[in-house]
Structure 1
Amino acid sequence: MAMPARSYTRKKVCRFCTEKLGIDYKDVNNIKSFLTERGKIIPRRLSGTCALHQRHLAAAIKQGRNVAFFAFSEEK
């Protein structure tokens, strides 16, 4: 019986913690990478952000939507 191959996945690190970046709703280029093409917020398990920065990121995205920097949803 052959042993299954082990896959090694590297632990994701919060980009905001390592680079000491601030989260600002006016920084469209930085925040846009945390949105899907349909306008949804990418979850923590995919983006690798820590819980604190994910909460700040979600608040900044929501604030940016209200000021019309980001769309609420993208239609097909």
Structure 2
Amino acid sequence: MNRNLNSVFEPIALSMNRNETWAIVCTLRDAVRLLIREWPSGDGEEYMTAVKACVDAVNGDIGLDQFRAVLLSAAGDAGIAASPLPH
């Protein structure tokens, strides 16, 4: 098993609450933390797809760009504002 928690991808800013607090996600470690600790709901098809994609990316089974696209889709489904940031 290849654990790539420190793999870096193009950063995303996600608004996680109504207090206008933004989470910056640019590594798989950031994504794991976000999905487990900060995501507003732990259910839904898009959320579960994002969790699986995160595991697959950590294991090296999918690319970082593919994972990033899944994360953005899950954020949209959950009503989380997302904004790409310059790398």
Which protein has the bigger helix share? 2
TM-score (norm 1): 0.32
Q: Bigger radius of gyration, 1 or 2?
A: 1
TM-score (norm 2): 0.29
The structure whose RCO (Cα within 8 Å, separation 6+) is larger is 2
